[in-house]
């Protein structure tokens, strides 16, 4: 399995995400939906669960790999926690297979605010979302 093949299995758009999460009526339903979104990501291969791919600053294990192809960023992000996987689905919908400029211009803060999940983005949270987004932005900036 290569990164590009793996990452193209994920097809949800930010509109799909919004539609799913904004229709939930309680926090329980929302977290359930979030975890179900996480299940839409193909299982992250065991052979990629290596320390060198680990994202620092997460309470759970998070691994991130990427590849640029035709100016698009192909992402493979895995975690062993269900809620974090859900948050990763949100990140993938926004950034996966997108061109550098589009990622740079994407208003991550507003996106998570619209989903009423802006609290999850805070650097003081240990879910790792902040670290994942920071790492993706760094990939674009350092390209």
Q: Helices 82-95 and 14-22: crossing angle, nearest 10°?
A: 140
Sign of the CA dihedral with 13 first, then 80, 76, and 10 last: negative
* Distance between CA atoms of residues 34 and 134, nearest Å: 21
Nearer to another protein, 11 or 126 (CB): 126
Among 58, 87, 121, 132, the active-site one is 58
Among 24, 68, 82, 99, binds another protein (CB under 8 A): 82
Q: Segment 5-64, which members bind another protein (CB under 8 A)? A: 27-28, 31-32, 35-36, 39, 58-60
Tell me, yes or no, if 93 is annotated catalytic: no
Q: How many whole angstroms from its chain centre is CA 50?
A: 18
Q: Which positions touch another protein (CB under 8 A)?
A: 27-28, 31-32, 35-36, 39, 58-60, 80-84, 126-127
């Amino acid at each position: 399995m290569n990164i590009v093949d793996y990452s193209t299995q994920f097809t949800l758009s930010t509109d799909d995400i919004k539609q799913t999460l904004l229709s939930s009526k309680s926090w329980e339903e929302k977290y359930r939906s979030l975890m179900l979104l996480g299940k839409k990501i193909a299982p992250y291969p065991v052979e990629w669960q290596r320390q060198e791919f680990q994202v620092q600053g997460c309470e759970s294990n998070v691994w991130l790999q990427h590849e640029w192809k035709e100016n698009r960023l192909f992402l493979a992000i895995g975690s062993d926690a269900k809620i974090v996987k859900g948050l990763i689905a949100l990140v993938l919908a926004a950034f996966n297979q997108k061109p550098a400029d589009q990622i740079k211009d994407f208003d991550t803060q507003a996106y998570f605010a619209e989903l009423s999940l802006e609290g999850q983005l805070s650097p003081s949270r240990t879910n790792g979302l902040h670290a994942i987004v920071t790492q993706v932005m760094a990939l674009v900036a350092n390209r």
